[in-house]
Structure 1
């Protein structure tokens, strides 16, 4: 026996209304315009105005998810891989937040607030404390955070000592306390010219109590993206690094900055602090050779994971 819903759908075309049945209980109703409906998996459909234009859907293993691809999306394999890695990294990080009960993220090297925004889009609602030392980026960061009461921002960098220093600016998202390496200058034209800005640097252990103030049973996570300076930030935590349940650091396979540690050295230092790798995602990759330049390395303190029944 037909439902009332189904009978209504069948009647509507008599009144000049186009009806496209998408899935059980779901329909597209329109008075004009041509739509193409393409299956995108069980009980899921793509609705496209006009011709489909080469859209396809690809199952992601046995996860139940499907990737929607347009005819141009696979033309630049490197660009597609980098976009997918960024999404998967943030998805993995927020999954680790839920597993480990993370309730405060220290976002070191926040730039314009891109990382915090991605966390919010993926569902993290806990406290974020962002640190950005350069004036121009900090102004944009402050603007981004102004309507989020659980997102604090601080105009300083973090490092091994409480001090001031000169940072190279004008390199967009790649401003660094370290000079560009020969490899970096060959790869990026932005490194060919530079100016410096004096910034304030604080130790992580000097700001941690303020960052965690008011949180019952804090479970902090440390994110570092400081263009070759992450180990200096880490060193500034001192004994308080033991308070963190996890971290994320940009580690280099091919060094863009003079004096930055190689990936092996950085990962070894984090492992010595009790962290273990849960995910590794390419950040940049050479177009000519396919070599990965940098990875986002996600590590958690396994002993901090909640006990399971």
Structure 2
């Protein structure tokens, strides 16, 4: 004899309500879209929206399953094809699609970007950073990454090019602790020309022969007049209202980082840490090599905590640029 509960379950679809019966006394009821019950493993099921994009379930460890959904027509990894890689004794696991694992260079660079962001977030917390200077902000990628990794303090971003600044300004809307400025930083207060047709690689420096061979975008030669200011001249305004400022300096200015650093003058010692893109292979004429940059930072009391590849040559494996993360060890809180 059917119970009232079962009768109601059968009635609901006639009213436009979708039902997935999970067993005695248990059901999932939804207003829109059909749902399906997918067996994941012993004692575990997944209830998911059905449609043209199928779900694939793969076991990646004891009592652990990976559920994926691809775009229409995108091939799905077969069950069991995903690899679960243990990350040492950290307790973490990396789940890899075999296709991704086969792209050694792409995987390494993606992992380096994540590890760098994770490391920086930990340093900001350890050194109690309350103001990040984001120099060469472009459209705000770095600041958004900081927020995703949990940093909640002040961010001050500098981007001199008009098109990128418009996007940066929009990205910072709604974040009261993220301030943006439409100028660059350098050794002197001045006006300069910057190449603006190179997307995230815009620079005040011309490309080197190596850079032109590597990137076709350097063949374009559009320029824009921009304002440059010294870092020590904007620090007080940027940190206004912060009790006991503990700033961190991030620079990504396409070969111009040492000029930005020089503009800090004697106030460079106020930064508890810094992050600079240093080059082993010069993309820009007149840019410093990694050894020169690191030596200058070390001479001001900063020491390396991490080096993360930013770009690598596909043909040779050589690293072109590193993200170099440094701190002043004496600045670590008691």
TM-score scaled by length of structure 2: 0.83
Q: Which residue of 2 aligns with 1:11?
A: 24
Identify the residue that residue 149 of structure 1 maps to in structure 2. 176
What is the distance in 2 between the residues matched to 1:31 and 1:213? 50
- The match for 1:133 is 160
Q: CA deviation at 1:85?
A: 0.6
Shift of 1:180: 0.3
Equivalent-residue separation in structure 2 for 1:246 and 1:99 (angstroms)? 11
In the other structure, the counterpart of 2:308 is 281
Say if 1:141 and 1:59 are closer, same or farther in 2 by CA, change over 3 A: same
Structural mapping, 1:211-222, within 5 Å: 211-222=238-249
Helix, strand or coil for the counterpart of 1:176? coil
Residue 38 of structure 1 pairs with residue 65 of structure 2: no
Match of 1:268 in 2: 295
Name the residue aligned to 2:47: 29
Q: Which has the higher contact order (CA 8 A, sep 6+)?
A: 1
Q: Counterpart of 1:94?
A: 121
Provide the residue aligned with 1:61 in structure 2: 88
How far, CA to CA, are the matches of 2:326 and 2:42 in structure 1?
A: 41
Q: Which residue of 1 aligns with 2:277?
A: 250
Quick check: which has more Rg, 1 or 2? 2
Inter-partner Cα distance in structure 2 for 1:48 and 1:171: 36
1:134-167 Cα deviation digits (max 9, x unpaired): 0010011111111211110000000000111011
Aligned counterparts of 2:55 and 2:222: Cα–Cα separation in 1: 53
Distance 2:49 2:180 in 1: 49
1:39 Cα deviation (Å)?
Answer: 3.7
Alpha-carbon RMSD across the aligned residues, in angstroms, is 2.5
- The aligned residue for residue 298 of structure 1 is 325
Using a 3 Å threshold, how does the CA distance of structure 1 residues 20 and 182 change in structure 2: closer, same or farther?
A: same
Moved more, 29-38 or 108-117: 29-38
Equivalent pair of 1:22/1:28 in contact (CA under 8 Å): no
Q: Report the secondary structure of 2:101's partner residue.
A: coil
Shift of 1:52: 2.7
CA distance in 1, matches of 2:48, 2:216: 50
SS, match of residue 96 in structure 1 = helix
Give structure 1 stretches of 5+ with no counterpart.
Answer: 1-7
Q: Name the CA shift for 1:147/1:272 in 2 (closer, same or farther; >3 Å).
A: same
Closer/same/farther in 2, CA of residues 154 and 271 from structure 1, 3 Å limit? same
